[in-house]
Amino acid sequence: TTETQTAVRYEKDADGIVTLTLDDPTSSANTMNDLYRASINAAIDRLYDELAADESSVKGVVIASAKKTFFAGGNLKGMVTAGPEDAEDVFRMAEDVKAGLRRLEKLPKPVVAAINGAALGGGLEITLACNRRVCVDDRSVKLGLPEVSLGLLPGGGGVTRIVRMFGLQEGLMGFLLEGKQFSPAEAKEKGLVDELVATREELVPAAKAWILANPDAHQNPWDAPGYKMPGGSPKSPALAGFLPAFPALLRKQTKGAVYPAARAILSAAVEGANRDFDTASRIESRYLTNLIVNQGSKNMIQAFFFDLQAINAGKLRPQGIEPWKATKVAVLGAGMMGAGIAYSCARAGMEVVLKDVSAEAAAKGKAYSEKINEKAVSRGKLTQEKSEELLGRITPTDDYADLAGCDLVIEAVFEDPSLKHQVFAEAAKHVNADALLCSNTSTLPITELAEGVDRPADFIGLHFFSPVDKMPLVEIIKGRATSDEALAKAYDVVQQIKKTPIVVNDSRGFYTSRVIGTMVNEGLALLAEGCAPYSVERAATQAGYPVGPLQLTDELNMELMAKIAKATKDAAERDGGTYEPHPGSLVVEKMIELGRPSRLKGAGFFEYVDGKRGSIWSGLAEVYPVAEEQIPFVDMKERMLFAEAIETAKCFEEGVIESAAAANIGSIMGIGFPPMTGGAAQFMTGYEGPEGTVAAGEIGLAAFVKRADDLADKYGERFRATQYLRDLVAKGESFPA
């Protein structure tokens, strides 16, 4: 950096109000880099110098930004590479950033943040050190502290100030632990910002007007004498009674898996609430440092920052093909999946023709969108007008002729190859001659389905997840004949409907279904070996899965699972291979035999009363008695994680999946692989051997292989690390990024 280069412009107007404009000349966004730190500290020095020379020379300060986002936050690349040996440096850097903000807060003149774009994480923390926040009322602007979702805590004073602004309870639940992001209107309602203006041009004038009207408003409430924390301090009887419930609440929220970041936020907030501001701030820096040097936060940063961003930026899309936009989609089949797909497409602005065998069935599919909209309107999330527009775009029909003009087909009829061939043949007569042809099959090989159409190059798998309107992932499956252009178009369609695509090659079960099957089977094998059913469920949720394998099996439907297992067996035998059933498959057969196949049928591992899940079926203990000696809990957890990880490694080896980013995002967002692992590929490369295992304290793929072999010795060869994994370790390599 040259002497004149600065990321913070300093301008004083005729009224004596200084505007500090954040504008890093070396980057398209303002980030917490060295230049910023030096520049903001220099600007604050200058403010203090001017005031020391003449107390009336500065009337107040406005913090503004010249970039699209107000401020983009911390340096995550640096955090991913920091190890335990860097702890002291990380701590000092955090303290340095905070010292600057604290000096700004302590300035004896009012300081106002003029928020023109997203202020998330570190960006919001800058504004919290100001005396007032004015924000442009634009829906594209988001405010919040999402650090927890990256495995971090708001360590730029965010924990300390939020707790002092809102109190422990609301601060934790409303802002810190869930990492919620707010629109300006929501932030105003919550009290996170003080004033909204309609346009960006009004921001700085509004900030200045407030300064002129409130020349003495330079102290934040927590620095004023007699300050009391909202909701009481941890020592006050009301809160003291409530505090012990926090860890339990946290556990409930995360289903038993206490994420290191959530725990650190909770500790920093509670310990800090007992102390003066500066001590609290230092405590916060300590907890942040611990998280940064900890493997868990690196795993989450890898997944939610680097992998997700890369995928959204087109990492898995073929290069050099023009962006594409679908305008009119034919959704074939208005059942559970078709109805959800129709809604998602209509919401994204596409015209939708929803086709089923009868007008009634098609109308029923559209009714699904009507129901979602009704709810959204009643909650004030959608206007009546917008709702009608959306519904107006969905045309239910039983007539193929209505498909004229469609440039996209998404098929979601019953899982039957000859039926699928037939509906594609009919639809092809009416849709555009170059329409993209997609199937939402969950198990049928795309290459075989493509044989039923004239244009196999335009045929591709688009595997949605249920419920479609909530699940953020779509798995795109390339058939052998699928063209790059079709793949690029499919990628664009998925993004057009605001979902995240992963791309995989054709294979039985593709990537996600194949991998989740191993976790479910492993859970059932644990049951068959005598693990207590509730322990199996708890092991899964404590490992970070959203639901346990028994509940999941009931929901997936064992009759369907048996059908898929049979198809896999038939295919293996047809190819001259052998098929050895997983011990979990035998449990599925047994349950079907006992007439307890699914939630749908009202009987599974759990009891169901009026469709509501009750307790574990009391007869289960007779079929699978609980063994006197239980296997170690850490083994229960890791058997499920390793089953999925090893299957993922096989998918790499077989070329089903080609990118660690796809494996990580696909496993977390599609099938509930625990987010704090960073995803199924990152779980292996960033594996941290837990206490009580052969790999305790060791980190990385070599530790994973060691532990896999240990599980194989104890529980079966299916856990044995493959040669492919051993080769990666030997070469010091990792999965392709």
Tokens of 701: 């793929």
Q: Give the distance, in angstroms, between the CA of residue 242 and the centroid of all CA atoms in the same chain.
A: 30
Residue 466 is a binding residue for ligand NAD (CB under 6 A) = yes
| Alpha-helical runs (H) found in 1-33 | none
Gap between the Cα atoms of 594 and 55, Å rounded: 85
Strand partners, 19: 11, 62
Q: How far is the CB of 435 from ligand NAD (least distance, A)?
A: 17
Strands of 119-120's sheet in order across: 119-120, 143-144, 181-182
| Closer by beta carbon to ligand NAD, 159 or else 427 | 427
Q: How far is the CB of 335 from ligand NAD (least distance, A)?
A: 2
In the complex, residue closest to ligand NAD by CB:
335
Residue 333 is a binding residue for ligand NAD (CB under 6 A) = yes
Stretch that binds ligand NAD, among 193-201, 460-468, 544-552, 601-609 (CB under 6 A): 460-468
662 SS3 class: helix
Gap between the Cα atoms of 417 and 565, Å rounded: 17
Stretch that binds ligand NAD, among 137-145, 435-443, 682-690, 694-702 (CB under 6 A): 435-443
Residue 338 is a binding residue for ligand NAD (CB under 6 A) = yes
| Closer by beta carbon to ligand NAD, 186 or else 398 | 398
Within residues 608-647, the interface with ligand NAD by CB under 6 A covers none
Q: How far is the CB of 419 from ligand NAD (least distance, A)?
A: 6
| Closer by beta carbon to ligand NAD, 56 or else 418 | 418
Residue 441 is a binding residue for ligand NAD (CB under 6 A) = yes
| Closer by beta carbon to ligand NAD, 361 or else 623 | 361
Residue 423 is a binding residue for ligand NAD (CB under 6 A) = yes
| Closer by beta carbon to ligand NAD, 336 or else 592 | 336
Q: How far is the CB of 415 from ligand NAD (least distance, A)?
A: 4
Residue 285 is a binding residue for ligand NAD (CB under 6 A) = no
| Closer by beta carbon to ligand NAD, 319 or else 418 | 418
User: Cβ distance 39 to 6 under 8 Å?
Assistant: yes
Cis-peptide, bond into residue 632, ω within 30° of zero:
no
Backbone dihedral region for residue 368 (phi beyond 0: left; psi -120 to 50: alpha; all else: beta): alpha
Query: What are the residues whose beta carbons fall under 8 Å from the beta carbon of 705, sequence distance 6 or more?
Result: 721, 725, 726, 729
Between the CA atoms of 559, 564, 566 and 568, what dihedral angle is there, to the nearest 10 degrees?
Answer: -170
Gap between the Cα atoms of 305 and 72, Å rounded: 13
Residue 464 is a binding residue for ligand NAD (CB under 6 A) = yes
Q: How far is the CB of 404 from ligand NAD (least distance, A)?
A: 17
Q: How far is the CB of 560 from ligand NAD (least distance, A)?
A: 9
Nearest one of 46, 42, 53, 49 to 4, comparing CA atoms: 42
Residue 357 is a binding residue for ligand NAD (CB under 6 A) = yes
User: Cβ distance 469 to 532 under 8 Å?
Assistant: no
Residue 218 is a binding residue for ligand NAD (CB under 6 A) = no
Tokens of 88: 């002291």
Residue 332 is a binding residue for ligand NAD (CB under 6 A) = yes
Helices then strands, counting H and E runs in the chain, come out as 31, 19
Residue 406 is a binding residue for ligand NAD (CB under 6 A) = no
Q: What is the DSSP string of 607-624?
A: EEETTEEEEE-TTHHHHS
Query: What are the residues whose beta carbons fall under 8 Å from the beta carbon of 223, sequence distance 6 or more?
Result: 105, 106, 277
Q: What is the DSSP string of 430-465?
A: TS-TT-EEEE--SSS-HHHHHTTSS-GGGEEEEE--
Q: How far is the CB of 428 from ligand NAD (least distance, A)?
A: 13
Q: How far is the CB of 493 from ligand NAD (least distance, A)?
A: 16
Residue 458 is a binding residue for ligand NAD (CB under 6 A) = no
Residue 356 is a binding residue for ligand NAD (CB under 6 A) = yes
Return the residue of 42, 336, 377, 594 that touches ligand NAD, per CB under 6 A. 336
Stretch that binds ligand NAD, among 235-243, 349-357, 501-509, 540-548 (CB under 6 A): 349-357
Stretch that binds ligand NAD, among 78-86, 124-132, 198-206, 351-359 (CB under 6 A): 351-359
Within residues 473-502, the interface with ligand NAD by CB under 6 A covers none
Gap between the Cα atoms of 147 and 482, Å rounded: 40
Stretch that binds ligand NAD, among 343-351, 356-364, 375-383, 661-669 (CB under 6 A): 356-364
Q: How far is the CB of 337 from ligand NAD (least distance, A)?
A: 3
Interacting residues with ligand NAD (CB under 6 A)? 332-338, 355-357, 361, 412-415, 419, 423, 440-442, 463-464, 466
